[in-house]
Amino acid sequence: MANQQIARDPSIPVPQGLDEDEQQAAMLKAAKQRGGVHRGEQLTVVPLGTPPLPGPWRAAGKVAAPGSGKTYTVYMITPPKRGPGIIGTHTNQPVSDAGTMPVIKNKPNTQTGITPAESPQAPKNQLAENWLGAGDSDALVEYTEDLQKVLDNPNATEDQISEKVKAGLAEARRVSLLGGDRDNSMVSALMQQVGRAVNQVAKIKSDALEDVIQQEEKSPNSVPDSKFQDRIKAALAAERQRQLMGAGNDGPSQALVLTGQAITIVADRKADAVQDLLTKDKQSPGSVTDSQFSAAIKDLLGMVREVQLLGASSTKTNSALANVGAVMKVVIQRKAESLRKLTQQKAIPGSGVTDDQIQQAMDDLNQLKEQGRRMGVSVP
């Protein structure tokens, strides 16, 4: 990291009402306008109208803070110019010290030919080490401002927001790998904007889910299950990301409430599908295949689990569980009958029924019986 110091001088009293995050952003912008802060230089900014800074600080122009546009006065400390003498000699002093003698004073255990800043024994300037280099910080400022602009745009799409978030996070990771401090105010500012972006994307997903729920309420069965499931999945994914970013836990979020409503709608549909198959099979025995029954049961049970996990409730779905038991009995009876017929056919020479077919039929029947027992269905 370059030996740059872009920070508020801790020895200077803090101006009343100072926004330090805004001040840091203004410092970085001022450093960028100057083309960076060079070795030995120091830069700070204070709100316009603040009394002149004491000591070696010298005013060096003005800068408008990113975002607010508030004017700050830029102050610099610039190191004195050095003379042409050899480092470590009396002639290597400010140019104004003319006529000095080129005397080299060697000291025990002291290396010559290096500056104190380069000496391994020299104490590090922790304040300077804790700030990012000007170039890296400038990039973070730009990414933060770009993300803020797209978030302030009410017509911004999810893709536009996500693109800016990905770019900003990539830059933050790059800076961190190069030694940037995670607690740097500009990194914090960027992460605040990322959190805001995650919340905004979650709202977009929730609004999309609410739209299909309202459409279904106005026109029943107008929204296919697949569309509900896609919107539910997207809303839950966005909500998980929001929680990972530290969203408040002050009760169920809008996304979870809407997800419960949507899952209940789909679960009720699955319950109706099972009931329709039972009615059809009773009216015309054998008209519904085992695979149709199995698929309907699987779909219903999957949605029942989702409803229960979300703490939602549906009278229709709960009553449909009794129908699942009835369906299981029908399918088990069919599997048992199929196994009986296969066994009889195998006893006939040349029937072509193999032991593998018999074993597969037995495995299918035993698996269905075990599922039925777990559901409380009485099976032989």
Question: pLDDT digit string (tens) for 296-311?
Answer: 878 887 887 787 777 7
Report how many domains make up the chain: 3
Residues 301 and 229 both lie in one domain: no
Residues 10 and 77 both lie in one domain: yes
Widest distance between CA atoms in the chain = 124
Residues 236 and 186 both lie in one domain: yes
What is the per-residue pLDDT for 207? Answer: 92
Whether 99 is in a domain gets the answer no
Would you place residue 224 in the very low, low, confident or very high pLDDT band (cuts 50, 70, 90)? very high
Q: Which of 216, 241, 266 is the last residue of a domain?
A: 241
Contacts of 297 (CB under 8 A, 6+ apart): 274, 324, 327, 328, 331
Would you place residue 209 in the very low, low, confident or very high pLDDT band (cuts 50, 70, 90)? very high
Residues 32 and 73 both lie in one domain: yes
Lowest-confidence range among 144-153, 211-220, 316-325, 360-369? Answer: 316-325
Would you place residue 26 in the very low, low, confident or very high pLDDT band (cuts 50, 70, 90)? confident
Residues 267 and 324 both lie in one domain: yes
Write the DSSP string, 93-131. SBTT-TT----B---TT--SSS-GGG-TTSPP-HHHHTS
Q: Which of 217, 241, 265 is the last residue of a domain?
A: 241
> Which range has the top average pLDDT, 40-49, 202-211, 251-260?
202-211
How is residue 380 annotated by DSSP?
-
Residues 267 and 336 both lie in one domain: yes
Q: What is the mean pLDDT of residues 24-44?
A: 80
Q: What is the pLDDT of residues 235-245, one digit of tens each?
A: 988 888 888 87
Residues 234 and 265 both lie in one domain: no
Whether 92 is in a domain gets the answer no
Lowest-confidence range among 3-12, 87-96, 115-124? Answer: 115-124
What is the per-residue pLDDT for 130? Answer: 37
Q: What is the CA radius of gyration of the chain?
A: 37
Whether 69 is in a domain gets the answer yes
Is pLDDT larger for residue 140 or for residue 287?
287
Please name the helix (run of DSSP H) or strand (run of DSSP E) that holds residue 6, with its range, or none.
strand 5-6
Whether 97 is in a domain gets the answer no
Give me the domain span that covers residue 237. Answer: 132-241
Residues 279 and 219 both lie in one domain: no
Residues 235 and 274 both lie in one domain: no
Q: Phi/psi at 202 (nearest 5 deg)?
A: -60, -40
What is the per-residue pLDDT for 137? Answer: 57
Whole-model pTM? 0.52
Residues 369 and 328 both lie in one domain: yes
Residue whose pair of structure tokens reads 């500056």 in the numeric block: 115
Whether 363 is in a domain gets the answer yes
Whether 100 is in a domain gets the answer no
What is the per-residue pLDDT for 121? Answer: 47
Whether 247 is in a domain gets the answer no
Residues 140 and 230 both lie in one domain: yes
Residues 280 and 365 both lie in one domain: yes
Question: Which of these, 269, 268, 270, 262, lies nearest to 310 by C-alpha position?
Answer: 262
Positive or negative torsion for Cα 359, 297, 380, 340: negative
Say whether pLDDT at 101 is over 50.
no
Whether 115 is in a domain gets the answer no
